[in-house]
Amino acid sequence: HLPTAELQALDAAHHLHPFTNGHELAQKGARVIKSAKGVWLKDSDGNEIIDGMAGLWCVNIGYGRDELADVAARQMRELPYYNTFFQTTHAPALMLARKLAELAPGDLNHVFFSTGGSDANDTNIRLVRTYWAEKGQPERNVIISRWNAYHGSTIGGTSLGGMKGMHGQGGLPIPGIEFIDQPNWWVEGGDTAPEEFGLERARQLEAKINEIGPDKVAAFIGEPVQGAGGVIVPPETYWPEIQRICDQYGIVLITDEVICGFGRTGNWFGSQTFGIRPDIMTMAKGLSSGYQPIGASVVSDEIAQVLSGTDFNHGYTYSGHPVAAAVALENLRILEEENIVGHVQNVAAPYLKQKWEGLLDHPLVGEAKIAGMMASVALTPDKAARAPFASDPGVVGQICRDRCFANNVIMRHVGDRMIISPPLVITPDEIDILIDRARLSLDECLAQLEA
């Protein structure tokens, strides 16, 4: 109940912000979010903000669902904590594991729980390397990822991610992680047609496997749609070619579904939208709609069978935390019973697509990409030439992002790309508000650039 100014003074004095600490706003005290309902946030001054990012791409069912609070309270009273190490387990973790096995495609039937996406990807590194070692091929330990991918902020997650700015802090990546280029046609496609470019980028994986030696490659990891890299929706040719290469060389295919999972791209998982058959999926965020911290690595029958022949010496105190698991289960019940994936497919995504692509008539917008309920626009001073701005990448994006913030719509910028990923329950009327505020912010950004 402290006034905004006092909260902001505490923020500036004591709080080290993830990722944004150097920003002016964090230094003088960031905006304080007080409550939320549906797709709307309320700040400590009473302003109503439409959340175009679902928090950090996670509040899929929207804010303020009392059912999740009730389940959490019940579970805390009955069994607030117990672990799943050694010889004990509990019903919430088991019921959630069964539910994920049911929802996940193919034979992905076995779940290793974590507390978020970063540590789920840490698990994946150790898990695939242990898998190959148990199969008598310990030299198969290289994991191939993509530049500009985001797989988390732990040592393992940062190493798997392809963000050079993150690698630079802490001497990463760890050994045995290699990278290929991302399928970002707008920036890197040149005169090549998008479909051809998709094939070229996928075939970098084959070239990289042959450069390293096929008997040394353990796995490839990719987000179906690169999220924090700028919502880079790949050309249609991309994933089928990646799948062919993984099949041909027998390497483990990991899809990081932390953003793309749980309805975001119009199916339960992004792998289904893009026709990928992964051996492992990383999950977090939409798994609990962000109401509790929880993540998971979901693995195939074959991988689970090999691992069950050994002690996999890995685990987190909060692996399968009963409160987080119970809340995730309730979240999945709501997603299923309210047919929220159907709402995305039939209502929200088609409407958002029409409105989002409508932004292409704006002088600053060069490319508009969308996959279900995640979307991006590339800002450019010259659409025909697909030209970047003369300023450093991100300067214009940040102006636009700040205008959005001032206009009470949360959008993110990645370099000079603007991105959204709203709660899946957003209605057409709310999409209209989001787009109107985005357009106003683009207009103000343009005016500022011209001033």
- Residues of this chain that bind ligand PLP (CB under 6 A): 56, 116-118, 121, 150-152, 157, 223, 227-228, 256, 258-259, 284, 295
Our CB check for ligand PLP shows the closer of 93 and 259 to be 259
Buried b (16+ CB within 10 A) or exposed e, 396-414: bbbbbbbbbeebbbbbbbb
The answer to whether 173 and 228 are in contact (CB under 8 A) is: no
Our CB check for ligand PLP shows the closer of 121 and 130 to be 121
Q: Per DSSP, what are the bridge partners of residue 253?
A: 220
Our CB check for ligand PLP shows the closer of 230 and 388 to be 230
To ligand PLP, the closest distance from the beta carbon of 315 in angstroms equals 17
To ligand PLP, the closest distance from the beta carbon of 292 in angstroms equals 12
Our CB check for ligand PLP shows the closer of 284 and 377 to be 284
The answer to whether 166 and 351 are in contact (CB under 8 A) is: no
Single-letter amino acid, residue 257: E
Q: In whole angstroms, what is the distance from residue 104 CA to residue 337 CA?
A: 17
Q: What is the CA radius of gyration of the chain?
A: 22
To ligand PLP, the closest distance from the beta carbon of 359 in angstroms equals 24
Neighbours of 230 (CB within 10 A): 26
Our CB check for ligand PLP shows the closer of 283 and 442 to be 283
Taking CB atoms, the residue at the shortest distance from ligand PLP is: 117
Q: In whole angstroms, what is the distance from residue 395 CA to residue 401 CA?
A: 10
Take residue 160 and report the two structure tokens written for it. 């798997």
To ligand PLP, the closest distance from the beta carbon of 412 in angstroms equals 11
To ligand PLP, the closest distance from the beta carbon of 381 in angstroms equals 29
Q: In whole angstroms, what is the distance from residue 373 CA to residue 264 CA?
A: 5
Residues in contact with 92: Cβ distance below 8 Å, sequence separation at least 6, in sequence order: 75, 79, 320, 322, 323, 325, 326, 329
Our CB check for ligand PLP shows the closer of 252 and 365 to be 252
Our CB check for ligand PLP shows the closer of 269 and 389 to be 269
To ligand PLP, the closest distance from the beta carbon of 176 in angstroms equals 19
Pairing state between β 280-283 and 48-51: unpaired
Q: Per DSSP, what are the bridge partners of residue 252?
A: 219
Single-letter amino acid, residue 125: I
To ligand PLP, the closest distance from the beta carbon of 235 in angstroms equals 20
To ligand PLP, the closest distance from the beta carbon of 259 in angstroms equals 5
Our CB check for ligand PLP shows the closer of 388 and 423 to be 423
Our CB check for ligand PLP shows the closer of 257 and 279 to be 257
The answer to whether 50 and 278 are in contact (CB under 8 A) is: no
To ligand PLP, the closest distance from the beta carbon of 324 in angstroms equals 12
Burial class of residue 86 (count of CB atoms within 10 Å of its CB; 0-12, 13-18, 19+): exposed
Burial class of residue 356 (count of CB atoms within 10 Å of its CB; 0-12, 13-18, 19+): buried
Take residue 347 and report the two structure tokens written for it. 């209502």
Take residue 258 and report the two structure tokens written for it. 């932390």
To ligand PLP, the closest distance from the beta carbon of 35 in angstroms equals 23
Handedness of CA 424, 428, 433, 437 (dihedral sign): positive
Our CB check for ligand PLP shows the closer of 413 and 437 to be 413
